[in-house]
């Protein structure tokens, strides 16, 4: 039995039946990491000794006949911009290369309380600035389906770890598609919850009004179980919303008769790879056969999404990264004679090219004389985009789109063309600007045997609708 290929809920059943031990599961996954990691580079750090000790503790609990929580004893990988007390948090940047966190993020506290086992911290684009995990100071992650291709980004390490069997579950963060796009490229399930559904306390901020932590899993069921644990109000996060947290596993129902599904015409345009469009259309046909009602809709401000996102996101990134000055923590330049030189040299030497690009762009759009022309205008367009979704959801229950216009591209292919790289997230950015939830699930493979992702969007705090449709589709594919 290949334990590394099993889903979390499958492992849970075997643990409860005492057919396997938690130590066996954790050991096998570390064996897979040892075998594959040199080629994939999904992790930046590992916590093998701690993980094996925790596994033994859980096995002792099972021997005593004590009940296991749904994800207790399940191995999980954590994106390296989410802090764990006593462990490195580098954000894949030189400027935080030696930083050890003194506290736990709220999501980490909740995972610990539920007995999940941390395998390590995963690679990412530096400070989550990227769509390919090539912008890591520690080198790129490779796609398990084709080592010459990217895994997507910025949560590429988390997606690659789950896809390669180097973790059963993972957490990522999504600012403009950074969970959903790598999930699509790596053939796994990636959920961006509603903004405010999951606490951001302990997430190193990229763009504070857009960032959201979410699950990357092997199937939809695991995603629901994981959101049950990490979701919910947190007084430590001023953007956390105090709304009831339902049991998302109750939405795992393969029944969608009468469900109204919107297809935005702006997402089905030229520029999409033919195979991507074909597989999404096949999924639409399957849903029609299951009794769903399909309706074409319009999200008229979609074309402004990329420009709006890169004004707002870089402005917020510029403000958030101002704290990395070489004084309090992180990298400090040794070639400085004055305080001003210390700031300048530490940031010049500590940040990579993409981080510098975004800091400069964000500083520019916030500067005197340009604030109204760019940042303020970007916020106004963001409001119009949110209103587009509100109008659409009066007609339909959910919206279905491709996750990405293409399958995984080759490493190095877009590094010299930032605009082409930014367009990788053209279908995912709008959900972050509107604050709504979205999921990417695998819906097929290209002729080159690369995964293709399908995206489902729903109104704010309506993740149940997403899970119901995603579970139905997943069940239909398996039939």
pLDDT at 479: 64
* C-beta of residue 153 within 8 angstroms of C-beta of residue 130: yes
What is the arithmetic mean of pLDDT over 417-429?
Answer: 85
Angle at the Cα of 306 from the Cα atoms of 295 and 241, rounded to 5 degrees: 75
Distances (CA, A) of 285 to 37, 143, 282, 290, 299: 39, 30, 5, 9, 22
Give the pLDDT band (50/70/90) at residue 324.
very high
Task: Supply the pLDDT for residue 1.
Answer: 78
- Predicted TM-score (pTM) above 0.85: yes
For residue 404, what pLDDT band results from cuts at 50, 70 and 90?
A: very high
Question: What is the DSSP pairing of strand 117-122 with strand 189-192?
Answer: unpaired
DSSP secondary structure letter of residue 124:
-
Q: Is 446 one of the catalytic residues?
A: no
Looking at the chain, the whole-number percentage of residues with pLDDT higher than 70 is: 100
User: Is the pLDDT reported for residue 129 higher than 80?
Assistant: yes
Please compute the mean of the pLDDT values over residues 116-142 and round it to a whole number: 98
Closest by CA position to 92, among listed 162, 41, 149:
41
Q: Span 287-315, mean pLDDT?
A: 96
Q: Is 27 a catalytic residue?
A: no
pLDDT at 207 over 90: yes
Nearest Cα to Cα of residue 167 among 225, 122, 115, 125: 122
For residue 468, the model assigns a pLDDT of 98
Q: Which of 154, 223, 406, 446 is catalytic?
A: 154
Please give the average per-residue pLDDT across 403-407, as a whole number. Answer: 96
pLDDT of residue 420: 79
Give the homologous superfamily in CATH for domain 1-298+402-479. Amidase signature (AS) domain (3.90.1300.10)
What are the residue ranges spanned by the domains of the chain?
1-298+402-479
- Give CA–CA dist 162/231, Å, rounded: 21
**Are 80 and 89 within 8 A, CB to CB?**
yes
CA angle 290, 294, 299 (to 5 degrees): 145
Catalytic, out of 21, 131, 132, 178:
178
Q: What is the pLDDT of residues 346-374, one digit of tens each?
A: 999 999 999 999 999 999 999 988 999 99
Considering the chain, what is the average pLDDT of its residues? 96
- On the question of pLDDT at 270 being above 90, the answer is no
Asked whether 184 and 123 are in contact (CB, 8 A), the reply is no
* pLDDT value at residue 328: 87
Mean pLDDT over residues 266-287, rounded?
93
Q: At which residue do the structure tokens 């912008």 appear?
A: 135
Q: Mean pLDDT over residues 57-63, rounded?
A: 97
Mean pLDDT of 380-385: 98
Say how far apart CA 277 and CA 297 lie, in whole Å: 17
Q: pLDDT band at 271, cuts 50/70/90?
A: confident
- The DSSP letter of residue 47 is -
Q: What is the mean pLDDT of residues 313-336?
A: 93
pLDDT exceeds cutoff 80 at 418: no
What is the radius of gyration, based on Cα positions, of the chain? 21
CB environment 258-285: b (16+ within 10 A), e (fewer): ebbbbbbebbeeeebbebbbebbeebbe
Residue 419 has pLDDT above 80, yes or no: no
Choice among 21, 36, 79, 223 that is catalytic: 79
Alpha-carbon gap, residue 419 to 407, rounded angstroms: 17
**Distance between CA atoms of residues 26 and 55, nearest Å:** 7
- The phi, psi pair for 21, rounded to 5°, reads -110, 155
288: number of Cβ within 10 Å: 12
pLDDT of 341 reads 94
- pLDDT band for 416, please (50, 70, 90 cuts): confident
- Judge whether 79 counts as a catalytic residue: yes
What are the φ/ψ torsions at residue 3 (nearest 5 degrees)?
A: -65, -30
194: helix, coil or strand? coil
Q: Are 402 and 273 in contact (CB under 8 A)?
A: no
Q: Is the four-CA dihedral 213, 216, 222, 223 of positive or negative sign?
A: positive
Position 68 pLDDT exceeds 90: yes
Residue 32 near residue 165, CB atoms below 8 Å: yes
For residue 64, pLDDT beyond 80: yes
Taking only the tens place, the pLDDT of each residue in 233-263 is: 999 999 999 999 999 999 999 999 999 999 9
């Amino acid at each position: 039995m290949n334990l590394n290929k099993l889903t979390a809920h499958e492992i849970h059943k075997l643990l409860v039946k005492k057919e396997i031990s938690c130590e066996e599961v954790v050991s096998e996954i570390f064996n897979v990491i040892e075998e594959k990691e040199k080629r994939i580079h999904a992790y930046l750090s590992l916590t093998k000794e701690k993980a094996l000790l925790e596994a033994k503790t859980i096995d002792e609990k099972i021997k005593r006949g004590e009940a296991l929580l749904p994800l207790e004893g399940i191995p999980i990988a954590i994106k390296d911009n989410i802090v764990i007390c006593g462990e490195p948090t580098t954000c894949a940047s030189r400027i935080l290369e030696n930083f050890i966190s003194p506290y736990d993020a709220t999501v980490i506290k909740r995972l610990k309380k539920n007995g999940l086992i941390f395998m390590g911290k995963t690679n990412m684009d530096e400070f989550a600035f990227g769509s390919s995990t090539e912008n890591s100071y520690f080198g790129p992650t490779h796609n398990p389906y084709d080592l010459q291709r990217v895994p997507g980004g910025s949560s590429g390490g988390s997606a690659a770890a789950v896809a390669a069997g180097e973790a059963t579950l993972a957490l990522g963060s999504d600012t403009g598609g950074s969970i959903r796009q790598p999930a699509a490229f790596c053939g796994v399930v990636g959920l961006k919850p509603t903004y405010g559904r999951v606490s951001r306390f302990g997430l190193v901020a990229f763009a504070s009004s857009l960032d959201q932590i979410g699950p990357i899993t092997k199937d939809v069921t695991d995603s629901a179980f994981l959101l049950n644990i990490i979701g919910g109000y947190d007084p430590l996060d001023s953007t956390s919303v105090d709304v009831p947290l339902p049991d998302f596993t109750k939405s795992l129902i393969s029944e969608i008769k009468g469900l109204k599904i919107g297809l935005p015409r702006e997402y089905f345009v030229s520029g999409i790879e033919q195979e991507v469009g074909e597989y999404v259309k096949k999924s639409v046909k399957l849903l029609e056969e299951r009794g769903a009602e399909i309706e074409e809709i319009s999200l008229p401000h979609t074309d402004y999404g990329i420009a709006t996102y890169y004004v707002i996101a870089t402005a917020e990134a510029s403000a958030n990264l101002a704290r990395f000055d070489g004084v309090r923590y992180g990298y400090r330049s040794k070639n400085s004679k004055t305080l001003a030189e210390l700031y300048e040299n530490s940031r010049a030497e500590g940040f990579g090219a993409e981080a510098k690009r975004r800091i400069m762009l964000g500083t520019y759009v916030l500067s005197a004389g340009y604030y109204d022309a760019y940042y303020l205008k970007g916020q106004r367009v963001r409001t119009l985009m949110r209103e587009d979704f509100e109008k659409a959801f009066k007609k339909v229950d959910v919206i279905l789109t491709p996750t990405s216009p293409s399958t995984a591209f080759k490493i190095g292919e877009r590094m010299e063309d930032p605009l082409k790289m930014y367009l990788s997230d053209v279908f995912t950015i709008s959900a972050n600007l509107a604050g709504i939830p979205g999921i990417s699930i695998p819906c097929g493979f290209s002729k080159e045997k690369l995964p293709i992702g399908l995206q489902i969007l729903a109104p704010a705090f309506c993740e149940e609708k997403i899970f119901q449709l995603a579970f139905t589709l997943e069940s239909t594919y398996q039939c």
